[in-house]
Amino acid sequence: MQQIIIEGPVRRLAEAESDAIFGERPADARATTVASLQGTPLDDPGGLRRRADALHSSGELLRRPPAWGGFRLDPDLIEFWHGSPDRLHRRLLYVKQEGRWTHQRLQP
């Protein structure tokens, strides 16, 4: 078992940055994003697939949905945890201070 913890300030990307990221995604992924009502109940997976396939095959230029956007995490702390059956887990902690990263191994 493994886990990564990342901490730091997060900010939503500007509209232009989100547009650029959306435009770099594969065409079928853009179609699925536009077809999906993300976060709402999915009663008909086949219907969603048909809508996405129809959008993809239409050749239409698909624009980023208004609610879809990117976020940037500027990490200050990263911990890698690797579980071990004998409970001597491996924990590696990286901390950014004054623009420099330090690291140390932590006890389990």
Residue-number span of the structural domain to which 69 is assigned = 2-36+45-106
- The one-character DSSP state at 21 is H
Containing 2, the helix (H) or strand (E) segment is strand 2-7
Structure tokens at 4: 């990564």
Rounded CA separation 10/24 (Å): 22
Q: Determine the pLDDT at residue 7.
A: 98
Q: Are 87 and 29 in contact (CB under 8 A)?
A: no
Question: Where residue 83 sits, what CATH number does that domain have?
Answer: 2.30.110.10
Close Cβ partners of 79 (under 8 Å, ≥ 6 residues apart) = 4, 5, 91, 92, 93, 94, 106
Report how many domains make up the chain: 1
Q: What is the pLDDT of residues 25-84, one digit of tens each?
A: 999 999 999 999 999 999 999 999 999 999 999 989 999 999 999 999 999 999 999 999
Q: Is the pTM of this model over 0.75?
A: no
Q: Determine the pLDDT at residue 29.
A: 96
